[in-house]
Structure 1
Amino acid sequence: MDDIDVQGTVWPCPAPSMPVSSYQGYAGAGELLASHGYVVVSISANGINALDVEEVGGDQYIARGELVLQHLDLLRKANAGRVESLRALHGRLDMQRIGLMGHSRGGEGVVRAALLNAERGSPFGIRSLMPLASVNERSSIPGVPMASVLPYCDGDVSTLEGQAFVDDGAHAFGDSALRTTVLMMGANHNFYNSVWSEEGHGGDDVELASDFADDATCGVGRSTRLTQAEQEHLGAGYMAAWFRLTLGREGRFLPLFDGTSASLRGLPRADVRSVPVLPSEDRLDVLTAALRLGDWRAGGGVQARWCAEAAVDIDDCPRREEEAIDVRQPHWSSGLGESGTMLRVDWAGAGTLSVMLPRQSRRTGRMERLSMRVMTGLSAPGGMRLTLHDRWGRRASVQLDAQAHATLGALPEVNGIGTSLLQAVQVPLARFRGIDLRHLRRLDIDREEPGTLFLTDVAFTRSSVGMAQHASHWPGIAVESQPPMDSRGPSERQDVRVTATLSGRQSYPVTVNVRLGTDSRAVTVPPGNLCAGTSLQFAPSVDPDVDESMAFIASGNSSGGFTSNRQIPVGPAGVRNDGRTAVVCREE
């Protein structure tokens, strides 16, 4: 990159300063993979870090994605024998089996790389993604298996916003890709990278976060914390296992990611919980909150209702309403779309939630488990009884209690703050004895004591990583705005026209969620159409301390198509910045 001075920041580093070699901090994972025949390349993004390209009119995550693709372009040339300095790689690379891992802002960067690759028509076979302790700008990618790693004691991205990668993509595309959250209890943000772990280069980020440092759960030196060596070893093991599973098809690593949360010999003993949404072809859906699919009846002292991220009644969503501000809520972070929707079920006393099984989900012959993602209350998590009823009136029950199933207990508080995070509950179908699993009719969820459960993704499942598909099989979505928005936004209230244009007509609706400041809307392109539009209103903040960078049009999670979030401003004359005439679409 060129030398640019941005608010006193210079790149390259002027002497005698030396750049931080962050890219060398993943040597453990790289060596593990290389020892099994993988070519591992770690790249430096110091130029982007130093300049923060948002300050010079760009998007740092697009820049990170482009940086990844530029290195893949270089490796493709090396594989063809056209790079003399990389002659050792000639003919050694499979450019159609590529996995990407990104740490922190790099997590969003590798997802953008996959989206930009799709915009190009998928010249590279990006078949696996691992955002690690990642920020999240609500990008969703179709067709690519993804494991989003969440360190529970993250002192940097403490909101655990990487959860949204799984929520946003799980039901948006109907694809055959495993998406899973890997929650590492006791892990911080920095210790996955040996360079960041050093004093002066970051160290223990929990120690730097004043509200975490003395915490009983995540505080420095607590027995519940992983040491630097343990976390680096654990992280390297999970990185290697994920790519050997998704690129090498080594199925023995699947139990680390499919919700059974098995451990792997040779890795440090740790509480690591995987919370998956399995591929569409490997599950029979019973209740899917993100799609508002589910037929239930509430009996006794039970009430149930949908609880959506974008709902007006968002205050009804937190599980501890009177102290909602004191709960980390990764599933309800920005008010964009329906991906964080759950079924909230409140028991005032003993009662039953009965879920009727859809016709296509009554024959479970190929399936292995009854699975669901569940979040329990803080004050009285308790347990529950699951009962399946068959066509002949017979029933079989399995009792689950919080002591035997850690996922039914409340997650530990961090500095007095609870965490609302869905956990995996998986019950082998073999435990439901004496009924006909080929002719099921109903699932009952019973509790005896008062309490609250949040439910979604109730399904009969079998473990699978699925099959990666080129994201370019789905339509691309270009988001345009008129007038264009800069980083500060207008000085007075202004209406902004936003248009979503598809790369081709589809037989189904395609939706993208867009946001401007505090105003957000879903833009849906109807079947057979190329585009649709809506209007957003930007109202400048009266608070001088509020960051106006939200004046950018932000396109978030989408369904039925993908967007890289590369913005295309449209000027007053209706001409895009690439010289093409903008498409005029109807008002939503």
Structure 2
Amino acid sequence: MGIVTAVPGTSSAVPPEASVVVQDPLVIFDGGKVTTTEQEIAPLAVKEREEVTRFVTTSPDTIENPTFWSSPAYEYDLGNLVASVSTDSSSFTYGQILITPIKGWIRYPMKSVSPTPPGQYPVIVFLHGQHTPADPNYRGYDYLAENLATHGYIVLSIDANAINADGDQSGQSRAQLVLGTLDRLRQINEHGQVDKNGNAGALNKLKGKFDFERIGIMGHSRGGQGVANTIKFNKNRRGASYAGLAVALSVNPTKYITAYPDFADVFIPKTAKTVVSLDEEKFRAAIAKYNIFYAEGSDTASPYDFRAAFLLAPTDFGGNKDLNGVPLAALLPTCDGDMLNLQGAISYDHNRFGNGSDTATRYQIAVQGANHNYYNTTWINDDFSTTAGPGHCMANHTDTIRVSDEDQRRNGLYLINSFMRYHVGGEQQFASWWNGMAQLPEAACPVGRGPCDERVILTIQRNEGQRKLIQHFASAESLSINSLGGPVTSTGFNNLARCDMPDGARSAGNCSPARIAGFEFNSWGGSGLRSIAEHAELSWTKAGATITNDLLGTSAAPHDTLSFRIAVVRPMGQEVLVTLTDNVGKEATIEASDFSGALYNAPKTKAEGRPMIDDPIDKPYSTGQVKMLLNMVAIPLKAFAGIDLNNLKELKLTFPKDRGKVALADIQFQTLGRDQFGPRMVAVQNKNSKAQ
């Protein structure tokens, strides 16, 4: 039961008459499953050499080829949930009861351009963060919702303002609100939306239309922490009860009187001969009037099938750990002035490997020039603008990296919606970007003009079956013995340290022999290295410093990519020469900057001598205000031409710049699916063949 009304001014978006979905014209790879689009790549008549490039295609955008009309946005109010608030963000010990409305906006596909529309639609849930409770924060993602609805998704954005007003920092009640909202929708899916008299509501037409086996969840800021907790609590629910609500009201009888006045007199006062007692009749009447229900526990509710979780500039107050079994993405806006310390980097590092049975991929997305607020259209203030000092991101700098609110949402529309459509909807046309092999579409770039791949740095971590660690830096011996058991040698470094990953959310790991200056981790600040993964810290003052791993004849098969994570600390840009040598002495060297934007701490392309030459315009950035993150460099193994990849002798990383400080982590072979896409073939005209 509840009230659902159409929101004026949100009438349906109409797709164009021609709505033929154009698939990526390449073979698509997705976690071991290979499918082929209708368009095949014709074999070249002449193939004398292969050019292995960073990108093999350009991703389609998320705007083109809508296949449905979107409903208008509907404002729903489906009752009130009794949830529990924790006093901490890690063990989630019992705190108190909280009542939160089940309210928000919902959009859904209305009419398909296809004569045979699907019977059910995937479900996407958005959860906003801790902003002014008086503002309609949940309405700020409607640009995402409308776009998804036109491509066949039911999308709802949850109103969590009652939790904002209550101040639950643990995120437990936010998780219960997400799960409680899905419980209400599951009731609608099974029984329709009707009132007590049997009158159909506006959502009654969605009976049987929700596909609860395909759900995606996105949380922004503290909503991100709420989404992390949703994953954890999904299989181990924490419930609330009638008795718990009664106890909470007896302990704090005035807390809910403003919003729920009928609770004011549900207790019979004590007399000389009696104690305070509950007036059961009045209590039940108030519960019925306010359409109250209770967060379910594991004994009464079955878990939901989450196919994707997106943490948008999330908080991580207690350690968003053990987020297993769900493809997970953490977006880090490098000009975030609210989450200045980019706590989402901590969430990513704590969860990047998962457990042995976990097959889900993890992603970190660093977006250069984005702030915290502009992904939500209701949050109109620039959260970075009041930050003191010249700053890495300040708009008054000559060569600012900042983007406008419109450009930031344009980029967010692609990143968030393509992630959901790929992982929740199984839309393979987006696989190429999320596997690190496609350029961003122009629609995702500032003012809709590309290329702009230097704006977004994608880090991918495959599961245990799709990776082979070479050097993990997880043990005290890892600077001398790698994960394969081979020796490691380092030459030319002034300082070398290995740092642990801390258990906590806001602390730096211990480093041996000591953390190097410039890498300092300020738990509440924006300077220093923001990533916390196990890593090595390196500094040198003479070109040619080298770290070499003995690979002991290891085969790279069945993997297709050599990857490592690197954070550039000083100066703004670095080069890494990556050399593979096989057991017969053949070697090949690749410039890492040819395959990654991770080697420069600003959104700049490899040009004008960069990254080997320091750009004078970057001098104001050199005072430690750059957001330093461990980002991925991924080099296709086929780029190492002439090497026997089945019998490898050593891997050497050389730093050719005359000085520098970097952090290094997670050197490994990974399977990203590049072989299924194939290298871009370059035909070299053969005069003899032509003559014949």
**Hey, what does 1:440 align to over in structure 2?**
648
After TM superposition, give the deviation of residue 35 of structure 1 in Å: 1.0
For residue 217 of structure 1, the aligned residue among 373, 378, 393 is: 393
From the superposition, tell whether residues 220 and 88 of structure 1 become closer, same or farther in structure 2 (CA, over 3 Å): farther
* Compared CA separation, residues 312 and 123, structure 1 to 2 (3 A): closer
Aligned to 2:308: 128
Deviation sequence 1:187-228 (CA, Å, 0-9, x none): 11111111112xxxxx21123x3327x646333797521111
Alignment match of 1:25 (pick from 123, 126, 140) = 140
Is 1:460 the counterpart of 2:577 in the alignment? Answer: no
Q: Does the 8 A contact of 1:97 with 1:127 survive in 2?
A: yes
Q: Report what 1:513 is aligned to.
A: none
* CA drift at 1:266: 2.2
Q: CA deviation at 1:27?
A: 0.8
* 3-state SS in 2 of match to 1:42: strand
Shift of 1:2: 9.5
Residues 380 and 298 (structure 1 numbering): CA distance in 2 closer, same or farther, change over 3 Å?
A: farther
Given that 2:81 and 2:180 are in contact with CA atoms closer than 8 Å, whether structure 1 keeps it comes out as: no
1:237 matches 2:429 = no
Q: Cα RMSD between the aligned structures?
A: 3.3
SS at match of 2:465: helix
**2:563 pairs with 1:354:** no
Measured in 1, the distance between the counterparts of 2:233 and 2:361 equals 21
- Among 322, 325, 341, the residue aligned to 1:143: 325
Alpha-carbon distance between aligned partners in 1 of 2:393 and 2:573, rounded to the nearest angstrom: 19
Deviates more, 1:29-38 or 1:101-110: 29-38
Deviations 1:474-503 (A, max 9, x none): xxxxxxxxxxxxxxxxxxxxxxxxxxxxxx
Q: What corresponds to 1:109 in structure 2?
A: 226
Aligned residue for 1:407, secondary structure, equals coil
Paired amino acid for 2:394: C
Contact 1:300 1:351 in 2 (8 A): yes
Deviates more, 1:293-302 or 1:118-127: 293-302
- For residue 162 of structure 2, the aligned residue among 44, 47, 71 is 47
Query: How many aligned positions are there?
Result: 435
Residues 188 and 47 (structure 1 numbering): CA distance in 2 closer, same or farther, change over 3 Å? Answer: same
The alignment status of 1:366 with 2:544, answered yes or no, reads: no
Give the Cα–Cα distance (whole angstroms) in 2 for the partners of residues 183 and 326 of structure 1: 14
Larger radius of gyration, structure 1 or 2?
A: 2
| Change over 3 Å in CA distance of 1:91–1:290 after alignment to 2 | farther
Distance 1:164 1:146 in 2: 13
User: What's the TM-score, normalizing by structure 2?
Assistant: 0.58
Counterparts of 1:110 and 1:347, CA distance in 2: 42
> Which of the numbers 139, 148, 166 marks the counterpart of 2:348?
166
Query: What amino acid is the match of 1:367?
Result: H
Number of the residue aligned with 1:89: 206
Distance 1:404 1:356, change over 3 A: closer
Partner of 2:577: 385
Aligned partner of 1:506 in structure 2 is none
State the secondary structure of the residue aligned to 2:570: coil
1:409 has 2:600 as partner: yes
What's 1:330 paired with? Answer: 530
Task: Deviation per CA, 1:33-89: give whole Å up to 9, x if none.
Answer: 1111111111100000011146xxxx4x00000000000111111111243233122
Distance 1:298 1:431 in 2: 24
* Higher deviation after alignment, 373-382 or 139-148: 373-382
Identity percentage of aligned residues? 28
Q: Is the 8 A contact 2:498 2:513 kept in 1?
A: no
Amino acid at match of 2:395: G
Amino acid at match of 2:426: R
**Match of residue 6 from structure 2:** none
1:343 and 2:453 matched: no
> Which among 74, 80, 103 is matched to residue 190 of structure 2?
80
> 2:81 and 2:329 mapped to 1: Cα distance?
35
Q: Which segment drifts farther, 300-309 or 104-113? A: 300-309
CA 1:224–1:168: 2 relative to 1, 3 Å:
same
Mapping for residues 496-575 of structure 1, pairs under 5 Å: none
The residue aligned with 1:267 is: 444
CA contact (8 A) 1:258 1:274 kept: no
Stretch moving more, 301-310 or 32-41: 301-310
User: What is the TM-score normalised by the length of structure 1?
Assistant: 0.67
Give the letter aligned to residue 352 of structure 1.
Answer: T
Separation in 1, partners of 2:552, 2:193? 57
Question: Secondary structure, in 3 states, of the residue corresponding to 2:363?
Answer: strand
Letter aligned with residue 548 of structure 2: S
Tell me which amino acid in the other structure corresponds to 2:463. P
Shift of 1:264: 1.9
Query: Where does residue 98 of structure 1 map in the other structure?
Result: 215
Tell me the amino acid that sits aligned with residue 371 of structure 2.
Answer: N
**Structure 1: gaps spanning 5 or more residues:** 4-9, 198-202, 333-339, 466-588
Which amino acid in 2 is paired with 1:205? D
- 2:421–2:427 CA contact under 8 A, matched in 1: yes
How far 1:153 sits from its partner (Å)?
A: 0.8
2:497, 2:515 within 8 Å by CA — same for their partners in 1? no
Structure 1 Cα separation of the partners of residues 489 and 663 of structure 2: 14
Amino acid at match of 2:551: L
Matches within 5 A, 1:273-312: 273-290=457-474, 294=483, 295-302=486-493, 304-310=496-502, 311-312=509-510
C-alpha distance 128-464 of structure 1, shift in aligned 2 (>3 A): farther
C-alpha displacement at 1:165, in angstroms? Answer: 1.7
Partner of residue 37 from structure 1, selected from 149, 152, 156: 152
Contact 1:256 1:274 in 2 (8 A): no
Distance 1:395 1:123, change over 3 A: same
Shift of 1:18: 8.8
**Inter-partner Cα distance in structure 2 for 1:353 and 1:63:** 48
Measured after TM superposition, the shift of residue 26 of structure 1 is 0.5
For 2:165, the aligned partner's letter is A
Question: Which residue in the other structure is 1:178 paired with?
Answer: 361
Letter aligned with residue 115 of structure 1: K
1:153 and 2:344 are equivalent in the alignment: no
State the distance in 2 between where 1:127 and 1:331 align: 26
Is the contact between residue 102 and residue 109 of structure 1 (CA under 8 Å) also seen in structure 2? yes
Residue 262 to residue 375, structure 1, CA distance change in 2 (3 Å): same
| Distance verdict in 2 for CA 1:299–1:205, change over 3 Å | closer
Deviation larger for 434-443 or 222-231: 222-231
Deviations, residues 217-247 of structure 1 (Å, cap 9, x unaligned)? 3337975211111112221221110001111
* 8 Å Cα contact 2:336-2:370 kept in structure 1: yes
CA contact (8 A) 2:228 2:320 kept: yes
Quote the offset at 1:425 in angstroms.
Answer: 0.9
Change (3 A) 1:410 1:226: closer
Using a 3 Å threshold, how does the CA distance of structure 1 residues 18 and 249 change in structure 2: closer, same or farther? closer
> Which residue type is aligned with residue 372 of structure 1?
F
What's 1:571 paired with?
none
Q: Report the counterpart of residue 68 of structure 1 in structure 2.
A: 178
Match of 1:398 among 564, 567, 590: 590
